[in-house]
């Protein structure tokens, strides 16, 4: 269905509706009461089905009205009495069950049921049979999802069950041709319609399953039949066929009728294809797809190898570098260079040590020389010897000189002593003489007098006296107190006249 929002024509819209309705109601069973029956010259029936609330337009085309016959086309049931003619069934007010698909009749803008089957209601028709059987098989677990098996991928051996004369095998083969690997498709022919169809299908299923045990046996069963009316497909609704599918050891892929047809065999099969063509598509991937897969694998293969090689190359390069770095010659070179470096260092260290020692030695030697010079030592020794000699020589001389000196001084002392005594003697005598001569009282004896003042001081001159002064005149036999009466200095000289007291 187109989803664009453009303005559509009535025809376009109706066409869309028609497709939608046909897709959603491909096959329905409807029950209702017949009304408005008409049968124009075309032979088609037009009528309505209705109930209390709704009504449905129905058309029953002439080609579909082939219900006549001694047996039921769907169930194979042989009628004791021939089935009623269509016009007998479509009586006004009759309660009917109609099967068919819903369509739209464009010219009248009307939806309608396109009838395929008509049965009187309450008579136990196909619909009830189908529904009842479906319920029963479902209860038995025939349709259970958990027992569905996966189809083998891209199978090489396929058992095909269908009619060799039908359209299905052609469709299947045409669609299969460009798909999958070169497979072996073995047809197990079966009657797919009408009397004996069900047993024939069951036999084919059994044979294919029996062959599955052989080494070259099929891997999968494909059960197909072209589209047809409900009764054409009825064999696939038979319980024995469903049972055979259910029992199948091989996975079963069913593609029966058109997309809209669902049979019990379809429901029981492991995988259901919409049509025989679809079955071929489900069974095999397209060859282009396979080739693409192969291309992908090849590319992955190449990539994987490329990556591997690149990695190895990288590793190799790395290892080669390592190897070169660890080659004996290189090792030797490295060791040699280390040795040289160490040797230089050692030499330098030794040299430096020697220089340092030399310097130390020089210094010490210098110090030593300054203390320990033989010439200087000899000189010192000589000097010491000389000094000693001088010392030794000096001492006696010093002693004798001191002796002499002592003796000399001794003599001088003796002489001096004696002289001192004699001189003192002489001086004493002389002094004694002088003393005698100098006695102030001596002259007094010879008539001299000694004049003194009150204080005892001798008066030498007239100038020392003043009138009235009392003076003492000492005479040889006493003293006279006198008073100065007159002073008569000598010519040229002041004379003093002493007045006696």
Partner 1 sequence: MKNSRSKIPADFEGRMERLQEIVTALEEGRLPLEEGMALYKEGVECSRLCREQLEKARHQLTIWQDGEEKDLILTDAVSGRQPDEEESI
| Residues in contact with partner 1 by the rule CB under 8 A | 153-154, 156, 163-171, 173, 176-177, 180-197, 200, 207, 211, 225-229, 232, 287, 290-291, 293-294, 297-298, 300-301, 303-305, 307-308, 311-312
Are the beta carbons of 259 and 274 closer than 8 angstroms?
Answer: yes
SS3 354: helix
Closest CB to partner 1 among residues 305, 325: 305
Nearer to partner 1, 225 or 272 (CB): 225
Instruction: Closer to partner 1 by CB, 300 or 421: give it.
Output: 300
For the CB of residue 71, give the shortest distance to partner 1 in the complex, in Å: 15
Whole-angstrom distance, CA of residue 140 vs CA of residue 452: 202
DSSP single-letter state for residue 473: E
Smallest CA-to-CA distance from 196 within 230, 163, 229 is with 163
CB of 271 to partner 1, least distance (A): 19
Q: At closest approach, how far in Å is the CB of 310 from partner 1?
A: 11
By beta-carbon proximity to partner 1, the closer residue of 58 and 176 is 176
Q: Which is nearer to partner 1, 185 or 482 (CB)?
A: 185
Nearest to 472 by CA among 446, 438, 498: 498
Contact 155, 282 (CB under 8 A): no
d(CA 224, CA 229): 15
Least Å distance, CB 300 to partner 1, is: 5
> What is the C-alpha to C-alpha distance for residues 253 and 274, in angstroms, rounded to an integer?
10
Q: Write out 251-270 in H/E/C secondary structure.
A: CEEEEECCCCCCCHHHHHCC
Strand partners, 31: 97
Quote the least distance from Cβ 304 to partner 1, whole Å.
3
Beta-bridge partner residues of 179: 286
In angstroms, give the least distance from the CB of 79 to partner 1: 21
CB atoms under 10 Å from CB of 482, counted, come to: 16
CB of 108 to partner 1, least distance (A): 27
Task: Identify which of residues 132 and 298 has a Cβ nearer to partner 1 in the complex.
Answer: 298
Q: Which is nearer to partner 1, 149 or 474 (CB)?
A: 149
Within 250-373, residue ranges assigned H as helices are: 264-268, 276-283, 287-325, 328-371
């Amino acid at each position: 269905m187109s989803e664009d929002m453009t303005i559509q024509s009535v025809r376009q819209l109706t066409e869309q509706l028609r497709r939608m309705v046909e897709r959603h109601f491909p096959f329905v069973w409807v029950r209702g009461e017949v009304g408005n029956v008409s049968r124009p010259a075309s032979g088609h029936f037009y009528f309505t089905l209705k109930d209390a609330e709704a009504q449905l337009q129905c058309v029953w085309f002439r080609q579909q009205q082939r219900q006549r016959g001694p047996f039921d086309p769907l169930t194979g049931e042989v009628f004791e009495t021939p089935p009623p003619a269509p016009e007998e069934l479509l009586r006004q007010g009759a309660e009917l069950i109609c099967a068919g698909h819903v369509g739209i009749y464009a010219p009248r803008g009307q939806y309608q049921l396109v009838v395929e089957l008509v049965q009187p209601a309450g008579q136990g028709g196909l619909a009830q049979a189908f529904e009842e059987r479906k319920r029963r098989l479902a209860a038995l677990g025939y349709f259970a999802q958990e027992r569905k098996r996966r189809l083998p991928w891209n199978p090489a051996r396929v058992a095909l069950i269908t009619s060799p004369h039908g359209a299905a095998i052609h469709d299947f083969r045409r669609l299969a041709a460009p798909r999958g690997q070169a497979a072996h498709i073995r047809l197990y022919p079966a009657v797919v319609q009408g009397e004996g169809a069900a047993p024939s299908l069951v036999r084919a299923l059994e044979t294919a399953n029996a062959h599955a045990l052989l080494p070259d046996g099929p891997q999968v069963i494909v059960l197909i039949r072209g589209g047809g009316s409900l009764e054409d497909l009825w064999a696939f609704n038979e319980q024995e066929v469903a049972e055979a599918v259910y029992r199948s050891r091989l996975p079963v892929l069913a593609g029966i009728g058109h997309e809209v047809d669902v049979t019990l065999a379809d429901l029981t099969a492991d995988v259901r294809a919409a049509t025989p063509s679809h079955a071929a598509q489900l069974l095999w991937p397209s060859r282009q797809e396979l080739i693409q897969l192969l291309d992908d694998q090849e590319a992955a293969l190449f990539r994987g190898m490329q990556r591997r090689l690149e990695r190895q190359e990288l590793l190799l390069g790395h290892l080669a570098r390592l190897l070169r770095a660890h080659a004996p010659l290189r090792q030797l070179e490295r060791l040699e260079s280390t040795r040289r470096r160490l040797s230089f260092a050692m030499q330098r260290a030794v040299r430096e040590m020697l220089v340092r020692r030399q310097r130390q030695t020089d210094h010490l030697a210098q110090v030593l020389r300054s203390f320990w010079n033989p010439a200087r030592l000899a000189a010192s020794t000589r000097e010491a010897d000389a000094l000693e000699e001088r010392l030794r020589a000096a001492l006696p001389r010093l002693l004798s000189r001191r002796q002499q000196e002592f003796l000399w001084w001794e003599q001088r002392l003796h002489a001096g002593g004696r002289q001192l005594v004699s001189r003192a003697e002489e001086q004493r005598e002389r002094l004694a003489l002088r003393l005698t001569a100098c006695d102030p009282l001596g002259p007094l004896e010879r008539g001299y007098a000694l004049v003194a003042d009150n204080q005892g001081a001798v008066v030498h001159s007239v100038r020392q006296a003043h009138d009235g002064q009392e003076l003492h005149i000492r005479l040889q036999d006493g003293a006279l107190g006198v008073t100065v009466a007159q002073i008569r200095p000598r010519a040229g000289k002041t004379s003093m006249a002493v007045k006696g007291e």
